[in-house]
A = this chain, B = another copy of it.
Amino acid sequence: MPGESDFINWIRTQQRSGQNIILPAGDDLAILRWSSDDLLVAGVDQVLDGVHFDSSKHTPRSIGQKVMNRNLSDCAAMACLPVAALATVALPANCNLSYAKELYLGLKSAADPFDCAIIGGDTASWPHPLAFTVTILARSAGIQPITRRHARPGDAIYVTGPLGGSILGRHMTFSPRIHEARDLATRFPLTAMIDLSDGLSRDLAHICQQSGVGAIVESSLVPIHPDAIELSRQDHRPPLQHALHDGEDYELLFTCSGPCDSAIRIGRITAGQGLQLQTDQGLQPLPSLGWQHSI
């Protein structure tokens, strides 16, 4: 059965260009020219019970926080500033009002620190699990949005924090790197950026595909989160494998054409195609094993 990326690739072929659409579907967010003053950067991200959270385990407040933070992390990925959000919720028929309020308060507690207002939405109920979607509206606010498209051979590759094992809990509790992204974009010559939601190997492949380049990741430089080590004890897969392939780290992955002392360098962009891993045994292919929905 084809994967989500087949559908998204097909959708791209359907896109119309237009003078006000600066960047259509396929990046973290779309970019529109809304006025002479500023760009409108807009996107949407959903969480589904049993896929992105487990309603039997996670509180409604933490579910609301997660869906808002995923959208805020998309803003971070483009170094733009969130302004407003719309929330759409399909509530299970047995859900009560206090559960619904907790979902909303989760949204709000994640949005408030970034001064992002929840301006509307849509609520319905059905006899199926919770589906929760947030639309984010952002401004470029003085910083040209960083896309996935301009990584060049010779650029260094960086991440903003240690990776792997987020399934142990961090995937619900991460902090979107908006301030970090805007600081990086202001101080360093960033060429491409993405937030790590699908996993390092898959998200780096997204940048490489859209920039028409390849990459070499140095295994000794990949920062490994303590959760990756803990998870490794449980499943006996090496911590590095978790750091390379686990999803939902929500750190930033970016390329930079000059030195950057505010993040962790993990490799470099190359001419050609494909991802490789530099180890003690030499270069080997780095497959994209991260998260992909099957449809």
Cα(A43)–Cα(B42), bound, Å: 12
Beta-carbon contact of B4 and A125 below 8 Å = yes
Q: Which residues of B contact A50 (CB under 8 A)?
A: 126-128
Nearest neighbor of A89 in chain B, beta-carbon distance: B46
Beta-carbon contact of B34 and A120 below 8 Å = no
Beta-carbon contact of A97 and B42 below 8 Å = no
Cα(A117)–Cα(B118), bound, Å: 24
Q: Which residues of B contact A86 (CB under 8 A)?
A: 30, 42-44, 135
Beta-carbon contact of A293 and B48 below 8 Å = no
Q: Decide if A83 is an interface residue (CB 8 Å cutoff).
A: yes
Q: Decide if A220 is an interface residue (CB 8 Å cutoff).
A: no
Interface stretch among A19-27, A161-169, A205-213, A242-250?
A19-27
Mask of A78-98 contacts with B, CB within 8 angstroms, 1/0: 000001101110110101110
Cα(A120)–Cα(B136), bound, Å: 12
Q: With A8-B123, A48-B126, A108-B14 given, is the CB distance from A34 to B36 under 8 Å? A: no
Q: Which residues of B contact A105 (CB under 8 A)?
A: 14
Cα(A292)–Cα(B8), bound, Å: 35
Beta-carbon contact of A46 and B122 below 8 Å = yes
Cα(A127)–Cα(B49), bound, Å: 10
| Chain B: minimal CB distance from A145 (Å) | 13
Q: Decide if A101 is an interface residue (CB 8 Å cutoff).
A: yes
Nearest neighbor of A32 in chain B, beta-carbon distance: B84
Q: With A123-B7, A125-B293, A125-B295 given, is the CB distance from A38 to B34 under 8 Å? A: yes
Chain A residues engaging chain B, CB cutoff 8 angstroms: 1-2, 4, 6-8, 10-11, 14-16, 18, 20-21, 24-27, 29-30, 32, 34-38, 40, 42-46, 48-52, 83-84, 86-88, 90-91, 93, 95-97, 100-101, 104-105, 108, 117-129, 131, 133, 135, 137, 293-295
Q: List 20 A-B contacts (CB under 8 A).
A: A4-B123, A4-B124, A10-B97, A10-B101, A18-B117, A20-B83, A29-B120, A32-B119, A40-B40, A43-B86, A46-B90, A46-B122, A48-B128, A49-B126, A51-B124, A51-B126, A93-B294, A95-B295, A125-B295, A135-B135
